[in-house]
A and B are shown apart, each in its own frame.
Chain A
Amino acid sequence: MELSFLDIIKNVFSLSLGYATIRICISIVFAAMGEMITERSGVLNLGTEGIMLMGAFSGAVGAHFTGSPWIGLLIAGVVGMLIGLIFAFVAITVKSDQAIAGLAVYLLGVGLSGYLLQIFFKHGGNTPRVETLPIIHFKFLENIPVMNALFNDQSVLMIPALLLPVILYIVFYRTPWGTWLRAAGENPKALAVVGKNPIVIRYVAVLAGSLLAGIGGAYLSISQTSLFSERMVNGRGFIALSAVIFGNVKPGGVFAAAMFFSFMDALQYVLQTVIPDQYFPREVFMALPYIITLLILAGFIKQSKGPADITNPYEKESR
């Protein structure tokens, strides 16, 4: 089949590309929003990928053994927080190097999810198929052409994913919790002076972030697909981390960055199907999201300003 250039463009930039972008972004938005909360408190958690893997695994296992994807989602959140608790202890209480602690959590997530997968399901690299979370359909959207194609018949988790940036914006800038959170990341000593414990706030932030990362991972196994396979998160955790940097650790910016990276991923999938392999190697498309993410980090990082006290452990008395 001969394709003209115009045909290819038409086939690529269709509404289904937009639908795929939304579908892909849900997992990344959850993880990126979680990491944003964590980083705002002054803690860098490089282990997001590992927590997402554990979330994806425990979500599928929960759904398999209880028959309910909702219970799976709940278990994924709890497991995410448990892994987050380990990280928080090492990073905040023990005050070890956060980058290395994050690396440990990444390896732990890869290893534990792979190990338990074999323990629970003996053969093969994946779980059996499980029930998935419901797909939602809005009647009122049917008459709005573009909106209908983009937002209808997506996973139920799309709603919290799209609301999260708004909610977090309000929490960050309109509530005392947001002020304490940001103070923990900017100037924890000043926060301690007004009687708030930066350590408690950092713990809460890490746990909240891990909860969201766990849910973001579970979305992959009990909604976007219907099973867990080894290493299925496939670098999305690191893309979420990049989105936090690119988005300047601010709700709107991080959301926009997550959407952009998701768009690149969707584009790569569509290009793979539209352009035949003999014209262009599919491996190039598969590598594209990582390369573009890095190019963007290279171009934008200089303007990016994270919290002042990030990765510095909080010491009670100054020496």
Chain B
Amino acid sequence: MDKTRKFLLKRQAVFTSILAVILAFLVVGVLLLFSGRNPVEAFGYFIRGAFGDLFNFSNTMSRVVPLLIAAIAFIIGAKSSVFNVGIEGQLLLGALASAVVGWAFKLPKAIHLPLTLLAGTLAGGLYALIPAWLKVYRKVNEILSTIMLNYPAFFFNHYVVLNVTPLEGVIPATPFIQETAKFSTLIAGTRLHAGVIVAGLVVVFAYFLLQKTSLGYEMRAVGLNREAARFHGIPVEKRMMFSFFLSGCLAGLAGAVEMAGVHYRYLDQFSPGYGYDSITVAMVGLLNPFGAIFSATLFGALKTGILDMAVYTEIPRQLVTLINGIVVLFISAKSVIQDKFRQIVTGKKQISLQEEIE
């Protein structure tokens, strides 16, 4: 076998993921054609909207931040076979908690900003303990429970915004947070804020936790084979509870970063579904914290690009959710793509175990 083939086979998971995304986009292109829209023109607007100038680029980057943190939240859970689909609800609660702390206290920045972020983080984590307990001790499927728990979170926030915190103006929102609770802007005149650094730290933290600590090793062991993990004396229930809690914490942090860096107050519908997108981002990134950087950039660009595109063309913004669905479908069917990929690379129908190891 020559070098390229070896390289392609060694990295087959990465190429499969890329192929799945490309296939999904081809399907989306066909759908655009069928609904009478020009996919090439759409693509042009999309690229321009996402990366066209410094402002658009900074816009994309500011969307990558919550997507990346939320994707890491999903990854932390998924590594111990906890499918936290409730990131959206945890993110909303985290955002509200940090908006309230950021507004209600008057403290020096060195204390206020971390406190604001911590409030959001804890709110998300505590809310995630409900489905965690339901899954671990009552055997309730967490996909079901977390999706349902997204509704009460939204209603709760809606109530707080309308009835508890004072309303300034006509839009249902909390008051603006103090200057001391805000992230600094990194490039003047753009939306790029210091939350990017937080996102970077979260990626590094997740990598070290999962790969370099015994706690992370045990969490992954629970994800790979629960019974074997139990046999080796790992407290399976505790580890699952912990990874669910940590997942919720990061989801809450993603919401908090949005408050401190972009919106400066809790608006009822500030999140364009970051929680749901994060699942796609995590899966396309192969549940790898560094892989998530690439996929979060792709989907961050998708979000700004399509919103920009929706202004200039007759292509609705709902395309984003549709793309998510199709991408997840292809990712979930990736074993077929991987088989085809291997056949094409090696030119054989069957691949022996020996070759696979090489």
Contacts and interface: CB of A to CB of B under 8 A. Distances in A.
Contacts of A290: 148-149, 151-152
B144 A297 contact: yes
Interface residues of B, number: 47
Contacts of A99: 83, 141, 143
Given A118-B316, A283-B159, A291-B152, A298 B138 contact: yes
Nearest to B339: A94
B298 interface: no
A115 interface: yes
Interface in A225-255: 230, 235, 238-239, 241-242, 245
A115 B326 CA distance: 13
A108 B35 CA distance: 16
A241 B329 contact: no
B316 A94 contact: no
Nearest to B35: A119
Most chain B CB inside 10 Å of its own CB: which residue of A50, A86, A283: A283
A107 B328 contact: yes
A110 B325 contact: yes
Contact of B276 (A96, A107, A230, A293): A107
A297 B145 contact: yes
B35 A101 contact: no
B148 A114 contact: no
Nearest to A93: B336
Contacts, number: 141
Interface residues of A, number: 51
Contacts of A242: 144, 148
B35 A116 contact: yes
B139 A301 contact: yes
B159 A281 contact: yes
Contacts of A95: 335
Interface string B142-179: 01110111011001101100010000000000000000
Contacts of B283: 100
A104 interface: yes
A115 B37 CA distance: 12
Nearest to B273: A110
Given A46-B144, A116-B35, A238-B144, A294 B149 contact: yes
B322 A287 contact: no
B20 to A, nearest CB: 11
Interface string A106-136: 1111111011111100100000000000000
Contacts of B228: none
Contact of B333 (A94, A110, A284, A293): A94
A107 B145 contact: no
Contacts of A114: 316, 318, 321-322
Contacts of B143: 46, 99, 102-103
A99 B83 CA distance: 9
B134 interface: yes
B151 A294 contact: no
B320 interface: yes
A308 interface: no
A171 interface: no
A302 interface: yes
B332 interface: yes
B111 interface: no
B309 interface: no
B152 to A, nearest CB: 4
B322 A297 contact: no
Contacts of B329: 86, 90, 101, 104-105, 108
Contacts of A170: none
A107 B151 CA distance: 16
Contact of A297 (B35, B140, B159, B320): B140
B335 A96 contact: yes
A318 B53 CA distance: 57
Contacts of A241: 144
Contact of A96 (B148, B158, B316, B333): B333
Nearest to B37: A119
Given A235-B148, A290-B149, A105 B325 contact: yes
B91 interface: no
Given A96-B335, A103-B328, A115 B318 contact: yes
A286 interface: yes
Contact of A287 (B36, B130, B138, B152): B152
Contact of A294 (B83, B148, B318, B333): B148
A107 B261 CA distance: 28
Contacts of A115: 31, 35, 316, 318-319, 321-322
A279 B159 CA distance: 14
Interface in A269-319: 281, 283-284, 286-287, 290-291, 293-294, 297-299, 301-302
Nearest to A98: B332
Interface of A: 46, 50, 86, 89-90, 94-97, 99-112, 114-119, 122, 230, 235, 238-239, 241-242, 245, 281, 283-284, 286-287, 290-291, 293-294, 297-299, 301-302
17 contacts: A95-B335, A96-B334, A101-B333, A102-B143, A103-B332, A104-B328, A104-B331, A105-B325, A110-B325, A117-B318, A119-B36, A235-B147, A286-B151, A294-B134, A294-B145, A298-B134, A302-B138
Interface of B: 31, 35-36, 83, 85, 130, 134, 138-141, 143-145, 147-149, 151-152, 155-156, 158-159, 163, 276, 279-280, 283, 314, 316, 318-326, 328-329, 331-336
